[in-house]
Amino acid sequence: MDKLFDSPWMLRLTALFLAAALFLYVQTEEKRENENGASTETDVITNVPLEVYYDEDNLFVTGLPETVDVKISGPPAIVLKTKLEKDFKVFVDLNALLIGEHSVTIQSENFSEKLNVSIEPRTVNVEIEEKITEEFRIEPEMNKRLVAEDFIINSMIANPSRVTITGAKSVIDSISYVKATITGDKGINKSFDQEATVKVLDRDLNKLDVRVSPEKVKVKVEINEYSRELPITIKEIGKVKDGVTIEHLSVEPSKITIYGPKATIDVLENVVVEVDVSTITESGSYDFAVALPTGATKLSQEKVIIHADAYSEPVDTEDTDNEVESDSNINDSEGN
Identify the pLDDT of residue 39: 82
Identify the pLDDT of residue 321: 52
Query: Is pLDDT above 90 for 5?
Result: no
Q: Give CA torsion, residues 312, 314, 316, 321, to 10 deg.
A: 120
Q: Tell me the H-state helices in the chain.
A: 2-6, 8-36, 76-85, 169-173, 262-265, 317-335
Residues β-bridged to residue 220: 157, 193
Q: What is the largest distance, in Å, between two alpha-carbon atoms of the chain?
A: 165
Quote the mean pLDDT of the chain.
Answer: 88
Q: Would you place residue 200 in the very low, low, confident or very high pLDDT band (cuts 50, 70, 90)?
A: very high
Q: What is the mean pLDDT of residues 315-329?
A: 51
Identify the pLDDT of residue 73: 95
Query: Is pLDDT above 60 for 114?
Result: yes
- Residue 283 makes CB contacts below 8 A (sequence gap 6+) with 308, 309, 310, 311
Q: 215 exposed, middle or buried (CB, 10 Å; 0-12, 13-18, 19+)?
A: exposed
Q: pLDDT tens digits, residue range 57-68?
A: 999 998 999 999
Higher-confidence position of 134 and 2: 134
The C-alpha atoms of residue 201 and residue 210 are separated, in whole angstroms, by 10
The C-alpha atoms of residue 256 and residue 262 are separated, in whole angstroms, by 16
Neighbours of 244 (CB within 10 A): 16
Q: Would you place residue 6 in the very low, low, confident or very high pLDDT band (cuts 50, 70, 90)?
A: low
Q: What is the mean pLDDT of residues 266-284?
A: 94
Amino acid symbol at 219: V
Q: Would you give the distance in Å from CA 294 to the centre of its chain?
A: 37
The C-alpha atoms of residue 58 and residue 151 are separated, in whole angstroms, by 49
Query: Is pLDDT above 70 for 3?
Result: no
Q: Would you place residue 216 in the very low, low, confident or very high pLDDT band (cuts 50, 70, 90)?
A: very high
Contact 310, 247 (CB under 8 A): yes
Query: Is pLDDT above 50 for 330?
Result: no
Contact 99, 139 (CB under 8 A): no
DSSP letter for each residue of 73-136? EE-HHHHHHHHHH---EEEEE-TTPPSEEEEEE-EEES--TTSEEEEESSEEEEEEEEEEEEEE
The C-alpha atoms of residue 281 and residue 245 are separated, in whole angstroms, by 8
Neighbours of 73 (CB within 10 A): 15
Contact 164, 133 (CB under 8 A): yes
The C-alpha atoms of residue 107 and residue 118 are separated, in whole angstroms, by 10
Percent with pLDDT over 70 in the chain: 84
Q: Would you place residue 248 in the very low, low, confident or very high pLDDT band (cuts 50, 70, 90)?
A: very high
Q: pLDDT tens digits, residue range 18-58?
A: 766 666 666 665 566 554 445 889 999 999 999 999 999 99
Identify the pLDDT of residue 14: 74
Reference 49, options 79, 82, 95, 89; nearest CA is 89
Instruction: Tell me the HSE value of 52 on the side-chain side, using a 13 A CA sphere.
Output: 19
Percent with pLDDT over 90 in the chain: 78
Query: Poorest-confidence range of 82-91, 144-153, 206-215, 319-328?
Result: 319-328
| Residue 229 to residues 90, 147, 257, 269, Cα–Cα distance (Å) | 65, 21, 4, 10
- Residue 271 makes CB contacts below 8 A (sequence gap 6+) with 230, 231, 232, 233, 256, 258, 290, 291, 293, 299
The C-alpha atoms of residue 251 and residue 228 are separated, in whole angstroms, by 18
Domains of the chain, CATH where assigned:
41-129 (2.170.120.30), 138-225 (2.170.120.40), 227-312 (2.170.120.40)
